[in-house]
Structure 1
Amino acid sequence: MTVEVVSPESVLYSGDATMVITRTLGGGEIAFQPGHAAFLGALQECHTRVFQEDGSVEDIAVHGGFVEVSNNKVSILSDSAELGSAVDIERARQAKERAESALRGEHDAEAVSALSRAHARLNAAGVGL
């Protein structure tokens, strides 16, 4: 199947794949394989994996957007995204620490979102939390 992962800044991935795993709002993780039924869903901050035909995996931090599946094509249109290999790990760790610190006080939706983005980035970079 064909897969495209696009953010406003660039096309992060375009090519063939055997499976894509991502996370939808309220629906949890979902896997798409060739021949999957048509699907449209909103995405949350997550670590998306694109399993390539050669057996390798492209790890991508996706920060919101939509996934559409039709005619053997998976399209991820992200609000913001980055390849796991491009994640600044130290910066992501600092963002995670700031968000965790903010959450120790009052519950703040912005801090929750920042923590989710940091987790997605660190997971895509292959760094354990």
Structure 2
Amino acid sequence: MAKTFRVDVVSPDQLLFSGDATFLRAQTTAGEVGILAGHAPLFAELAAGGFVVVTLEDETKVAMAAQGGFLSVSAEAVKVLAESAQLAAEIDLAAAQAALEASDEGSVDYYEARSRVRAAEALI
């Protein structure tokens, strides 16, 4: 059985996830990172248009679109502090893809739509 660690994903208006995970994947400004239990301490800025995927003990995944903010890894836990975030299970993939195609690359709307598409696709 894989070792677990505590994960909390929050935005200013809600707690999106709080629980134990075996793996966390996130997109940061320095690239994509994967976190396992016992990972070295890390502090990173979340990438624009990024997402966070948490893998649970039963191998199910919880994905979230995450816009801006930070990822903090300590010996005991991972905290994701997003400026805005949405659970992938709540995202209409077709609508997010349409919004991505309709937006100008590099715009705020583009990054928000890309984040939602990537998070929703992470569960497929």
Q: Confirm or deny a common fold (TM above 0.5).
A: yes
TM (norm. structure 2) is 0.86
Match of 1:98 in 2: 102
Q: State the shift of 1:47 in Å.
A: 2.1
Contact 1:36 1:72 (8 Å CA) reproduced: no
In 1, Cα distance between equivalents of 2:25 and 2:76: 15
Count of residue correspondences? 117
Match of 2:90 in 1: 86
Q: State the shift of 1:114 in Å.
A: 2.3
TM (norm. structure 1) is 0.83
Structure number with greater Rg is 1
In 1, Cα distance between equivalents of 2:75 and 2:116: 30
| DSSP-derived class of the 1:79 partner | strand
Higher helix fraction (1 or 2) = 1
In 2, Cα distance between equivalents of 1:55 and 1:67: 22
| DSSP-derived class of the 1:115 partner | helix
Match of 2:39 in 1: 36
Match of 1:14 in 2: 18
| DSSP-derived class of the 2:22 partner | strand
Match of 2:70 among 63, 66, 79: 66
In 1, Cα distance between equivalents of 2:96 and 2:67: 13
**Structure 1 outlier segments of 4+, above 6 Å:** none
Structure 2 segments unaligned to the other structure (5+ residues): none
Residue identity over aligned pairs, in percent, reads 34
In 1, Cα distance between equivalents of 2:40 and 2:50: 22
Match of 1:55 in 2: 59
Q: State the shift of 1:37 in Å.
A: 0.8
Q: CA RMSD in A?
A: 1.6
| Farther-moved stretch of structure 1 (47-56 vs 82-91) | 82-91
Letter of the 1:33 partner, please give it.
Answer: L
Give per-residue Cα distances to partners, 1:73-113, cap 9 Å, x unaligned: 000000000110011334323321221xx35xxxxx4x2x3
Q: State the shift of 1:53 in Å.
A: 0.8
Letter of the 2:38 partner, please give it.
Answer: G
